[in-house]
Structure 1
Amino acid sequence: MSFLIEDHFIVSMGGAAAAAALAFGSGARRRAALVILSAVLSLRYLAWRGLFTLGGDEWSERALGLALYAAELYGFIQALLFCYQSASPTTPEPPAVPEAELPEVDVFVTIYDEPVEILRRTVLGCLGQDYPEGRFEVHVLDDGGRSEVRALARRLGCRYIGRAGSEHAKAGNINHALALTSRELVALFDCDHVPVRTFLRETAPFFRGGGRLAFLQTAHHFYNDDPFQRALRPGPSPPGEQDLFFHVIQPGRDRYNSAFFTGSCGLFRRSALEQAGGFRTETVTEDIHTSMELHARGYGSLYLNRDLSAGLAPESLEGYLIQRRRWATGAMQLLRLDNPILKRGLTLHQRINYLASNIYFLLGPPRIVYLLSPLFYLLLGKAPLKTELPVFLSIYGAHYLASLLVLSTLGRGMRSAFWSDVYETAMCFTLTAALRSLVSPRRAGFEVTPKGERTAGARAPVRLVAPYAVVFAALAAGVGAGLTELVRNGPAGVTVICLVWTLYNCLLLLPCLAAAGVTFQRRLAPRLARTVEAGLHTGGLALRCRTRDVGEGGVLLSLDEPAGLEGRDAAVELPCGEKTVRLEARALRHDERDGEVVAAFAFTAAPDETAAVLSDLLFGRPESWSGAHDAHPRGAGARVVVAAVALRFAAAHTAALRRLSPRLRAPVPLRCELPAGSGELAVRTIDVGLGGVRIEVRGRRPLPESIWLGLSKDGNGAVEARVVWQRRSLRSVRAGVRFVEQGGGAAIWRAARELS
């Protein structure tokens, strides 16, 4: 046995070292060699698992072992398909086309029951396209028949298209509009996806003239945090959950003419759609189904890996799972009703890529097997595998390390293995339930992903959280049982493996539970990070400043110096396109953040008005989303810790931003003049703001209601103040003091800033 362990160790170390050397190199050949080496090490692991670790004394152990082995085989197939799809991405560039030859475009914006303010942003973005006048028209496709949608379309100057009923959901809505329009190209946007003003100019030229290009898809970017990212705020958060698909997998599929339309932010050639009979209505995922139909008819597609629009990611865990359930249901319907392996007209590459998209949603049962398998041993004594720890670490370690290096190399920093496991864990129960569509594919209904959820304080319902909570409790019990076993009998191989495995599963569930506890957005309109020069006019002052974030409802400004803003109205000047707009506002808070003085303002104009004037600044600039995916994921452990504690500090983080003057913690020595010539006291500040201070006075003598405060080093310039509250301790008195004159504490605040 010692020879076998040594032999395994040498092979594993050699394979791991070779994989690391290939991963840290560059070039297509190195990437191909890394993928091949990783596949060999994985096949070695699977062969060893199948030949030497299965079996058991009881049928239950054999069944458990086979279930786990089947889950690992599924994971290996998924890994191969990921490599196949992402190994060779394309980078097309728009051709130069004279303006007179640009195709004419009908722009469709679809809506069902989403909030009208979300639709307004998208319509404004579509109307603001930098495209020749008269060569495009915007249409609002209302499947909900709402009068407010009709009124908005009329007010903004675009065409309203409604219909009687909502048969076939989104696909029926689009097909109805296709029959009422006639331009050469059709651009499609969901009501929450706002295009930059160059969207049509960067995409439509690809369709110039005839040809077999049927559709073009662009990347999806999301300007809000998904529930997992929100659960980790204010700490570091992972990349967007869909970044890997839109910036790695879709560009790779484009190499084989098999990228597919993803429901929004794409263009179609009308003649191709008409030949295919419009959008497919047999499944709830009309986007991928229609794409496959066009490919089967010999048409081409193109994927442009650019963030030319931005939309809303699901804002709650429930919305996230509703969306994934619809995708999984559509995938199961496609496997049953129009299987890509059997569909005539597809190339071999297209069959493989479409099959990969469908079988991905079979991950539910394998992931549940991964979650529960170690518990059978720790709680029931049923081992899912038979092995010795050194051999397992050697063979599994080389396989796992090579797999991590492949994901890191091909994934281009868009996803870590830990977060892939988290997302699969979050979806596994929902996707398992969706498998019933394999049995009854025609019974599924279309579910709209909730958008604009703003129910303050609402969290995921108990029925949604229960599976995570129950499994987490069972895993915690398993950890306790495993530790007890280690103390009693020492570190046996299978015990150590199952204990570490169970701890990892607990880590996977923590972000899921944190995401379930995230409340919905409170703001009516999102705030976007935008840094531009701005002007602030308040109380007769004209200040130059910079924006930190901007929204339809207000703005956060960075000031060079503090300003007394209590009770003041103001006007904020912002650059929007080629002009400067002036918006009336009122001060909400004034504080210090990250070493800068910041002031938050709410616009007093109606959101309808501010949305129109701020549309270009918020969404229209071509560089709006550049660099959004540059950040690489950090270590998994740090994120899990943040996920566990972020909610505890969320309330404190929010409460710290509510003052109308900034507060600094600094011990500034002050003189305190008492009224009626009663003398002076030496005091020291605890924290300082423009509107007031907290002070500490040695001794137990209470302070009078009115006092005058000034810097100890300055014999003049004391300002009148009112004592709001005071508390005595054994050695001192602490008091909260408010200045009578607005901004009266400017000199004290500057002294505090120097000290801090």
Structure 2
Amino acid sequence: MTAVTPAPPVPRREYPSPYLRLLIVLTVIVGMNYIVWRWLFSINWDAWWIAVPLVLAETYSLIDSLLFAFTMWRLRRRPPPPPAPDGLTVDVFITTYNEPIDLVLRTAEAAQRIRYPHRTWILDDGARTELADAARERGIDYLTRAASWAGKPRHAKAGNLINALLHTDGEFLLILDADQVPEPEILDRTLGYFSDEGMALVQTPQYFVNVPDSDPLGSQAPLFYGPIQQGKDGWNSAFFCGSNAVLRREALMQLGITGYVTAVEDGVARALRTADRVVRRAQRSVPAGQPEVAAALGSVRRAVRAARADLRAGRPLAEVTYRFQQEVDAAARTVVDADLGAIRADLDAIAALDEHASETVILDEAVLDDLADREWSPLGAIESVRALISAVDVDRADEAEPTQALATISVTEDMATAMRLHAAGWRTAYHHEVLAYGLAPEDPKTMLTQRLRWAQGTIQVMLRENPLVQKGLTLAQRLMYWSTMWSYLSGFAALVYFAAPVIYLVFGVLPVQAWSVDFFARLIPFLILSQLLFFVVGRGTPTWRGQQYSLALFPVWIAAVWTAVRNVWFGRPLDFAVTPKTRQGEDSVPWYLFRPQLAVMALLVVAAVIGVVRLYFGAISVLGVVANLVWVVFDLFILSVVVQAARYRGPRREGEE
């Protein structure tokens, strides 16, 4: 199969220098030395309620640093790719829902100017007649959902792309968001990677033209669209970011077929589990004078176990179900004469189950539980087992398209799709060159909506398809995906980092045994080396704004975790909002958006004043106050970014004062 072709060797010059790797090793050693010492020798167990959360938060941060160091170990700076091969067929997909029509057309017209031969498609999930007319006037292909999607889950952008895949035929797909204006050479610069037949995806950076140098909303991501993606690329883990990416159609269609087979196999497995419960229950009610009936039920149960074992062994589904049905038929013939008196009582229930099968009604957990808990006669149990397998929804009637080429388990389809591609053996590449220019949020409310959606989607993937246990991924790939998911748990650590200095300055409660030389001699070198590592791998690219937002948006990260858990584990709806592409203006400064951060800032200031007063009266130590005041200043600096964000009014437009 194409996806399992061996990867070409990577020249040594594309990987980090020995000096960078030496810095990584030093950072890891110093960090491990600090955290081991903290756990073994420094926790103030008399104040465990703050001491333990603090050391847990520090452990979280160290793990985050170790994952970053592991990513940087194989930071890959690729040379220019080979020239784009002639004769490839390419579809350029521009996804849109409710974005302004002039914005969509600007992107589409730029896509038309891409030099490599291709077809440009506007995928309009809003089904707007005026956009269809405008596209037709410009010679741009226009596509909206097929009728088969009516009344079925739409799966947001992933569903839009799945629909387009089944109505187009290009070998390769360039996917663009409605605001991402491509350069004419984008395909010339990326298609060469696909000379490697195992290459499924080439991701390029997302860069925003409406962001000032100060980047008050933290929209540019130079650390991610740079060292982090390059590091993931070194471990064959560079992932799809939703836009500005070229994908191989064959790889996506393979995912769709594999997913379809997996879904059907899962349906059969669930039916077999229920069948086992049905037969077990029926065995308990067999009269002592009917050994042939007991033997027949025993043979059905053995057939159930054999079928489940065959499924786990990967045997063909049709072969497994055919053999199972033959075993059930033989058992039914054995008991039909011995159980005539009880058959009539079960006929209606079996007929209802057969009706489920004919109407392709999904056998959900409630239906399966009802079947398993019913008091069946022996023959009724056997017939219900047979009907259960027949009722498996082979056509996947609950979905508009039975083969889903992109992951639909999350509000952000990109990461989960890339992870499935890697698990299937495909390779990806990160091309570090800006080839499309987009629009970032221009107001804090839109920025927060975008960040919440990203975080919710990532946590959904973590809960539904945890990379640490996904088959097919290498250990490095598991860690690369986990590192991105892990980073969104930082909101809980941030709460502890903000609380600890307040508790000490106000109440004098020390989370460590003492502010000793041992403490600072271990902590300060780790902090310095960590920041030096950021500086070196970034090659002067400013990364501090991203570090600020990783802590300052702690309410967003906590809300994302909470809502994603409720959605995945408890079935609660997860509100989805497309990120607006135009400014959502407000006359006044929207301080209300940052109430938790402002409250923490006020608390830190009050705690600092109380701490100084307590020091004046000799209630706490000088070193403790100084250390925690430095801590407070650092926290205030981190949180100050939300003040800039709240006051930001977007880039100045032509004609604005």
Give TM-score scaled by structure 2 length: 0.70
**What letter corresponds to residue 259 of structure 1 in structure 2?**
A
Q: Which residue of 2 aligns with 1:431?
A: 557
Task: Specify which of 396, 404, 407 is matched with residue 280 of structure 1.
Answer: 407
Match of 1:450 in 2: 580
- The CA deviation string for residues 177-227 of structure 1, in whole angstroms up to 9 with x for no partner, is 11110111111000011111111111123224x712111111111111179
Question: How far is the alpha carbon of 1:297 from its aligned partner?
Answer: 0.9
Q: SS at 2:533's partner residue?
A: helix
Residue of structure 1 aligned with 2:443, choices 295, 311, 316: 316
Aligned residues: 484
Partner of 2:506: 379
Task: Determine whether 1:112 maps to 2:97.
Answer: yes
- Kept in 1, the 8 Å contact 2:490–2:551? The answer is no
1:183 aligns with 2:170: yes
SS at match of 2:200: strand
Are residue 44 (structure 1) and residue 33 (structure 2) matched? yes
Q: 1:422, 1:512 within 8 Å by CA — same for their partners in 2?
A: no
1:173 aligns with 2:160: yes
The 2-side partners of 1:114 and 1:521 are apart by 19
SS in structure 1 of the partner of residue 467 of structure 2 = coil
**Do the aligned residues in 2 keep the contact of 1:226 with 1:313 (CA within 8 Å)?**
no
Tell me the SS of whatever aligns to 2:488: helix
Q: 1:381 to 1:151 in 2, by over 3 A?
A: farther
Instruction: Tell me, yes or no, if the aligned pair for 2:210 and 2:651 is still in contact at 8 Å.
Output: no
Number of the residue aligned with 1:351: 478
Partner SS for 2:215: helix
Of 79, 97, 107 in structure 2, the residue corresponding to residue 122 of structure 1 is 107
How far off is 1:54 after superposition?
1.0
Q: Which deviates further from its counterpart, 108-117 or 83-92?
A: 83-92
SS of alignment partner, residue 216 of structure 1: strand
AA paired with 1:70?
L
The within-5 A match list for 1:369-408 is: 369-408=496-535
- State the partner residue of 2:599: 470
For 1:483, which of 612, 618, 621 is the aligned residue?
612
Describe how 1:626-637 pairs up with structure 2 within 5 A. none
Of the three residues 202, 213, 217, the one matched with 2:199 is 213
Q: Deviations over 1:124-154 (max 9, x none)?
A: 21011122xxx31110011112233223312
Cα distance in structure 2, aligned partners of 1:42 and 1:179: 51
CA contact 1:196–1:309 (8 Å) conserved in 2: yes
The residue matched to 1:200 in structure 2 has which SS? coil
Q: Please say if residues 93 and 174 of structure 2, whose CA atoms lie closer than 8 Å, have aligned partners that are also in contact.
A: yes
Matched residue, 1:267: 246
How far apart are the structure 2 equivalents of 1:293 and 1:275? 10
Counterpart amino acid of 1:500? Answer: V
Query: Runs in 1 of length 4+ with deviation above 4 angstroms?
Result: none
Confirm or deny: 8 A CA contact 1:368 1:429 kept in the other structure: no
> Tell me, what secondary structure is at the counterpart of 2:406?
coil
Task: Give me the whole-angstrom Cα distance separating, in 2, the residues matched to 1:296 and 1:510.
Answer: 41
Encode CA deviations 1:273-332: one digit per residue, 9 max, x unaligned.
111011111111210111111111111111111101111122222222222211221222
Shift of 1:343: 1.0
Q: Distance in 1 between matches of 2:590 and 2:102?
A: 24
Structure 2 unaligned blocks of 5 or more: 1-14, 257-404
Aligned partner (choices 66, 69, 82) of residue 52 of structure 2: 66
Which residue identity lines up with residue 481 of structure 1 in the other structure? I
What is the deviation of 1:521?
5.0
Distance 2:16 2:235 in 1: 20
Match of 1:9 in 2: none
Find the residue that maps to 1:369 and give its secondary structure.
helix
Note if contact 1:335-1:438 (Cα within 8 Å) is conserved in structure 2: no
- Cα distance per residue 1:241-299 (max 9 Å; x no partner): 41100111111111121100100001111111111011111111210111111111111
2:421 paired residue number: 294
* CA offset digits 1:50-92 (Å, max 9, x no partner): 23321243xxx21211101011111111111111112322314
1:590-629 maps to which residues of 2 (within 5 A)?
none
Give 1:389 deviation, angstroms: 4.8
Measured in 2, the distance between the counterparts of 1:426 and 1:228 equals: 16
Counterparts of 2:68 and 2:492, CA distance in 1: 19
How does the TM-score come out when normalised to structure 1?
0.61
- Are the structure 2 counterparts of residues 330 and 97 from structure 1 closer, same or farther at C-alpha, using a change threshold of 3 Å? closer
Give SS of 1:276's match: helix
Q: Which amino acid letter does the alignment assign opposite residue 23 of structure 2?
A: L
Provide structure 1 residue ranges, at least 5 long, that are not aligned to the other structure: 1-25, 232-238, 524-553, 555-587, 589-653, 656-756
Equivalent of 1:193 in 173, 176, 180: 180
Kept after mapping to 1: 8 A contact 2:491/2:557: yes
Paired residues of 1:364 and 1:427 also in contact (CA < 8 A)? yes
Question: Percent of pairs identical after alignment?
Answer: 33
**Closer, same or farther: CA 343–128 of 1 in aligned 2, 3 Å:** same
Paired with 1:226 and 1:351, the residues of 2 have a C-alpha distance of: 36
Q: Aligned partners of 1:342, 1:250: CA distance in 2, in Å?
A: 22
TM alignment of 1:619-658, pairs within 5 A: none
> Secondary structure of 1:446's partner?
coil
CA 1:318 to 1:455, structure 2 compared with 1: closer, same or farther past 3 Å? closer
Q: Determine the structure 1 residue equivalent to 2:118.
A: 136
Structure 1 or 2: larger helix share?
A: 2
Which of 512, 516, 524 is the aligned partner of 2:642? 512
Give yes or no for contact 2:206–2:437 (8 Å, CA) kept in 1.
yes
Question: Does 1:225 pair with 2:211?
Answer: yes
Distance 2:452 2:64 in 1: 19
Residue in structure 2 matched with residue 155 of structure 1 by the alignment: 137
Query: Are the structure 2 counterparts of residues 469 and 63 from structure 1 closer, same or farther at C-alpha, using a change threshold of 3 Å?
Result: same
- Distance change >3 Å, CA 63–CA 226, structure 1 → 2: farther
Q: Distance in 1 between matches of 2:547 and 2:251?
A: 39
CA 1:456–1:330 in 2, change beyond 3 Å: closer, same or farther?
Answer: closer
Q: Relative contact order (C-alpha < 8 Å, sep 6+): which is higher?
A: 2
Does structure 1 residue 35 correspond to structure 2 residue 24?
yes
